[in-house]
Amino acid sequence: MARIYNFSAGPAILPEEVLKEAAEEMLDYRGSGMSVMEMSHRSKLYDTLLKEAEADLRELMEIPDNYKVLFLQGGASQQFAMIPMNLMKNGKADYIVTGQWAKKAYEEAAKYGTAVKLASSEDETYAYIPDCSDLPVSEDADYVYICENNTIYGTKYKKLPNTKGKVLVSDVSSCFLSEPVNVSDYGVIFGGVQKNVGPAGVVIVIIREDLITEEVLPGTPTMLQYKIHADHGSLYNTPPTYGIYICGKVFQWLKKMGGLSAIQKINQEKAAILYEYLDSSRLFKGTVRKEDRSLMNVPFLIGNMELEDKFIKEAKAAGLENLKGHRSVGGMRASIYNAMPIEGVRALVSFMKKFEEENLAE
Ligand SMILES: *Cc1c(COP(=O)(O)O)cnc(C)c1O
Please identify every stretch of the chain with a pLDDT value under 70, giving residue numbers as ranges.
Answer: 1, 361-362
Q: How far apart are CA 176 and CA 295, in angstroms?
A: 12
- 243 lies in the same domain as 271: no
Instruction: Tell me which residue of 159, 148, 340, 178 sits closest to 259, measured CA to CA.
Output: 178
> If you measure from the C-alpha of residue 103 to the centroid of ligand 1, how many angstroms do you get, rounded to a whole number?
12
What residues contact residue 90 under an 8 Å CB cut-off, 6+ apart? 140, 141, 142
- 194 lies in the same domain as 213: yes
Q: Could you tell me if the CB of 287 is within 6 A of ligand 1? A: no
Q: Does residue 262 sit within a domain?
A: yes
- 271 lies in the same domain as 229: no
- 251 lies in the same domain as 273: no
Q: Does residue 9 sit within a domain?
A: no
End of a domain among 209, 225, 257? Answer: 257
Which atom of ligand 1 has the smallest separation from the CA of 174?
15
Question: Whose CA is closest to atom 3 on ligand 1?
Answer: 76
Among 77, 104, 150, say which to mutate for ligand 1: greatest number of ligand atoms within 8 Å of CB.
Answer: 77
In 232-303, which residue ranges form alpha helices assigned H by DSSP? 241-257, 259-280
Q: What is the pLDDT of residue 362?
A: 54
Domain count, the chain: 2
Q: What is the pLDDT of residue 328?
A: 85
- Residue type at position 41: H
Q: Which domain holds residue 226?
A: 16-257
Q: Does residue 11 sit within a domain?
A: no
- 147 lies in the same domain as 58: yes
- 87 lies in the same domain as 114: yes
Q: What is the pLDDT of residue 2?
A: 83
- 79 lies in the same domain as 120: yes
- 26 lies in the same domain as 109: yes
Q: What is the pLDDT of residue 360?
A: 86
End of a domain among 257, 280, 301? Answer: 257
End of a domain among 257, 279, 299? Answer: 257
Q: What is the CATH number of the domain that holds 176?
A: 3.40.640.10
Digit-coded pLDDT (tens) for 2-19: 899 999 999 999 999 999
- 234 lies in the same domain as 265: no
Strand 92-97 with 144-147, pairing: parallel
Number of other CB atoms surrounding residue 90 within 10 Å: 14
Digit-coded pLDDT (tens) for 290-332: 999 999 999 999 999 999 999 999 999 999 999 999 988 899 9
Q: How far apart are CA 360 and CA 362, in angstroms?
A: 6
